[in-house]
Structure 1
Amino acid sequence: MKLTKAFKHALNLVMHSKLRSWLTIIGIVIGVASVVSIMSIGAGLEQDITSRLSGMGADILTITPGFSKASGFSHRMPSGGGFADGATATEEEVVLDRTDVQVLKSIPEILLINTEIKGSAEVYYLGKRGSVTLTGVDQKVWAQITTLEIRDGRILGPADQNVIVIGGRLADDYFEKPLGINKMIAIEGGSFRVVGILDDQSTSIYMPIQMAYQVLDDKETDIYDSIIVKIKDEDEVDYVTENVEQKLMMTRHVTEKDRDFTISSSKQMDEMRSEMVSSLTMFLTAIAAVALLVGAVGIANTMFTSVLEKTKEIGIMKALGARNKDILAIFLLNAFLIGLIGGVIGVILGYLISGIIPALMGGGGITSRVASAGSLVTIESVLLSLSVAVGIGTLSGAIPAYQASKLKPVDALRYE
């Protein structure tokens, strides 16, 4: 029997049992659509994080008080959170000050140094109060070292005083009315003018560090919450990190065991996020794959039922000269068609879902990241999903098809 004729017989089997076939196909559709949408959203997130990493560069290091093995960049494998074994200092007991800045200035490979303080501040605008995170930065170098992007207005400049840059959400919908460029806002009783709006979804405020000392009462002048440095050559990041470690330990009179500061790469956090996204995507894809297995059971059930229903027809075909491999081909193609139809519809549905879900997401945290990242339907995910759907369909129909091919014509013709 020619393959085209076997294909026609297989198609007739699908059309003959429309309801049962489509119920089986729906199981495959759900599984494939779930896999495609999850993989696409995960790929979109990974691409977004990768683009952010490329924009951040590897030439930024952040020094903070207190030593955490989990976030510290100490040229050794991390071993969980908390402070180093034997450490006697905590973040509350240790500080960064001008002495540390002078040490960093002595390292020729460091290009820029930005000192920051951070705290919570009360804001007031058009009758509404709120509490937001306020960060004081060295406005002389902040524009050259920050990775934040400006949506409207400008970044802080060297001569700025009573001006601020605010997060996108604070500008758009935090208050009753939008807070735009050149608008005045009260922060802890003082008035400040907005000169820039960030291209993000935060409610943060950035201002010159000397003004921040006046606004944040609990901050002491020349004591910093973090020091951010930009190195001249990102290829020397390991060397510079080691050099900074050694010099700071020497001037702060600490050893590796009781070290009281942490050096972290500006890329570490997003790299960790990227790994988490990959793991989460794999986990959710595995869950979605369960739906494909359910679909496989449905295909096997449909095929067994078809064999029983078509037993007499199989006997007639064999009596007319059909060979075992012809019967096998017909039922395998039947299973193949069910898997293929379910796979194609599932890919289309998954593509639509992967576009709708990010559009519906908002707010903060991971949902806002999903919304901004969107989805990325790759040819790999499409081919993988189709291959799995067709493969599962064909394999699920293998045993029923084999049983059908082994039916004896006499027994099949007697079947009622």
Structure 2
Amino acid sequence: MNVLEAFTFALKALRDRKVRSALTIIGIMIGPAAIVGITSLTGGYGAQISSQLLKLGTNTILVTPSGSYTLTQKDVQIISSMPDVAGAYPFYDVPAYINTPAGRETVSVVAIDLQGLVKTLPGLQLQSGSLPPPTEAAEAVLGYYVANPQNSQMPKYTVGDVVHLNVITPQGTVSKSFLVSGVFQEVGPTFIANLDQSIFVPLAAGRALTGNSYYTGIMVYVSSSSAINATETRIKDVYGDNVQALSTQMGISVANSIIGFLNMLLVSAAGVSLLVAFVGVTTTMYTSVVERTREIGVLKALGFSNGEVVYMFLAESMVMGLLGGLAGLALGVGVAYALTDLVPTMGRGFGGPGGSSGFSLGHVSPAFSPTTMALTLVLSVVIGLVAGLIPAYRAAKMDPVVALRYE
């Protein structure tokens, strides 16, 4: 019996038992579908997070205070004097909101040296207008979603408009108006803040709003990406636990670690369904052997060897594994695209464009790995093969005389 004959027998056997075969194949396809759907989804979001973080540049370190420690101009001078530091830009981050016909639109007012900000974050580019001078405390540059809110009932802003804010300061809520001098392009979510939902003003405006001499944080621009780790170490050596220093490279590393762990956890859970598929194939093959006892007896009486009988039943279980794996890959692709539409909808509850300043899970394209898909298909076939071993061995060991008498 050659390979083609074995698979012809297998397909005929599956057609003779359509319902049972279909149910077994469905049981097999769930595992591959879950694995492909999960890995492609997490891969897509991993690539998106890395891409968004890289927009902040590879030479950026964000320094923020811990506990009761406060950052002052003295700290700016200390960090500026460190080797490889090309710029240290203190900033204020103040919560605020805009009253609109659709309700309050929450924003953040970021006061910083705007020339230094654009230098430090290369992904932050002007879409229109210009940056206000450092001494101009009444002009602002709007983040993309402040100027272009997703809610159609909220007002849009262009260069030359005036935006009226209610700024929440330690002294209470203060009304403040700014002339829009520019609008930034869309950046997307970052570990620093939701820049698209922020309003950027010169540093002097932040000091006037808050009345504080201490800063929310310091943006550190390092002369070379290769000096990032050394600069982080120097900052930690000087300040210890009084500050947190987070670089883009560290953010990417942490994000990849979290996504990798989540991916492993979810794939492990999906792998349980493969064990269920194994049991299903074994059960189906045992039933098939019992139902075809007389057929086995006839085949052996006609001269089929034990090896050929084993080969025939293994081909049947392998075909179920192959069909289940292929169907699972197709279903997994569909699941991945469905989830990329579903997850952003769920993520809006945690903040996003046009809403609060939280980190939004945006829409991404699934990242399909040919290697993962190929391994998943091979695993499905192997499960079918292994699950059919014992039933096939039992069929081969049948006494043809006893098999022919079976009712």
Counterparts in 2 of 1:199-278, with a 5 A limit? 199-200=187-188, 202=194, 203-215=197-209, 217=210, 219-220=211-212, 222-246=213-237, 248-249=238-239, 259-278=241-260
Partner deviation per Cα, 1:353-410 (whole Å, 9 max, x = no partner): 2122213433435998554332111101210210111111111111111111111101
Q: 1:352 aligns with which of 318, 326, 334?
A: 334
Q: Residue 172 of structure 2 corresponds to which residue in structure 1?
A: none
The answer to whether structure 1 residue 300 and structure 2 residue 286 are counterparts is: no
CA contact (8 A) 1:97 1:224 kept: yes
Q: Residue 196 of structure 1 corresponds to which residue in structure 2?
A: 183
Q: Residue 139 of structure 1 corresponds to which residue in structure 2?
A: 114
Return 5+ residue gaps in structure 1 as ranges: 67-89, 250-255
Report the CA distance shift for 1:151/1:20 in structure 2 as closer, same or farther (over 3 A). Answer: farther
The answer to whether structure 1 residue 171 and structure 2 residue 148 are counterparts is: yes
Bigger mean CA offset, 323-332 vs 57-66 = 57-66
Report the CA distance shift for 1:124/1:302 in structure 2 as closer, same or farther (over 3 A). Answer: same
For residue 187 of structure 1, give the secondary structure of its aligned residue in structure 2: strand
State the distance in 1 between where 2:382 and 2:146 align. Answer: 47
Partner deviation per Cα, 1:292-336 (whole Å, 9 max, x = no partner): 221221111110111011000000000010000010001000000
Q: Residue 408 of structure 1 corresponds to which residue in structure 2?
A: 399
State the distance in 1 between where 2:27 and 2:129 align. Answer: 54
Q: 2:263 aligns with which of 264, 278, 281?
A: 281
State the distance in 1 between where 2:289 and 2:126 align. Answer: 65
CA contact (8 A) 1:124 1:185 kept: no
One-letter amino acid of the counterpart of residue 156, structure 2: L
Deviation at 1:155, TM superposition (A): 6.8
How many aligned positions are there?
A: 379
One-letter amino acid of the counterpart of residue 401, structure 1: A
Deviation at 1:129, TM superposition (A): 2.8
For residue 173 of structure 1, give the secondary structure of its aligned residue in structure 2: coil
Q: Residue 158 of structure 2 corresponds to which residue in structure 1?
A: 181
Counterparts in 2 of 1:78-89, with a 5 A limit? none
Counterparts in 2 of 1:8-407, with a 5 A limit? 8-66=8-66, 90-91=67-68, 94-126=69-101, 128-150=103-125, 152-153=127-128, 156-159=131-134, 161=137, 162-168=139-145, 171-174=148-151, 176-182=153-159, 183-188=161-166, 189-194=175-180, 195-197=182-184, 198-200=186-188, 202=194, 203-215=197-209, 217=210, 219-220=211-212, 222-246=213-237, 248-249=238-239, 259-360=241-342, 361-362=344-345, 363-364=347-348, 365=350, 370-407=361-398
CA contact (8 A) 1:40 1:381 kept: no
Q: Residue 74 of structure 1 corresponds to which residue in structure 2?
A: none
| TM-score of the two chains, using structure 2 as the length reference | 0.85
Q: CA RMSD in A?
A: 2.5
State the distance in 1 between where 2:365 and 2:164 align. Answer: 36
Bigger mean CA offset, 262-271 vs 378-387 = 262-271
Bigger mean CA offset, 316-325 vs 383-392 = 383-392
Partner deviation per Cα, 1:147-188 (whole Å, 9 max, x = no partner): 554484367454554213225277322572352323432112
State the distance in 1 between where 2:102 and 2:296 align. Answer: 82
State the distance in 2 between where 1:21 and 1:169 align. Answer: 57
Return 5+ residue gaps in structure 2 as ranges: 167-174, 353-358
Bigger mean CA offset, 275-284 vs 353-362 = 353-362
For residue 45 of structure 2, give the secondary structure of its aligned residue in structure 1: helix
CA contact (8 A) 1:299 1:397 kept: yes
Report the CA distance shift for 1:245/1:330 in structure 2 as closer, same or farther (over 3 A). Answer: closer
Report the CA distance shift for 1:151/1:308 in structure 2 as closer, same or farther (over 3 A). Answer: farther
Deviation at 1:262, TM superposition (A): 2.9
CA contact (8 A) 2:100 2:155 kept: no
State the distance in 2 between where 1:370 and 1:291 align. Answer: 28
Deviation at 1:278, TM superposition (A): 1.1
Taking only the aligned residue pairs, the percentage that are identical comes to: 28
Report the CA distance shift for 1:134/1:340 in structure 2 as closer, same or farther (over 3 A). Answer: same
For residue 114 of structure 2, give the secondary structure of its aligned residue in structure 1: coil
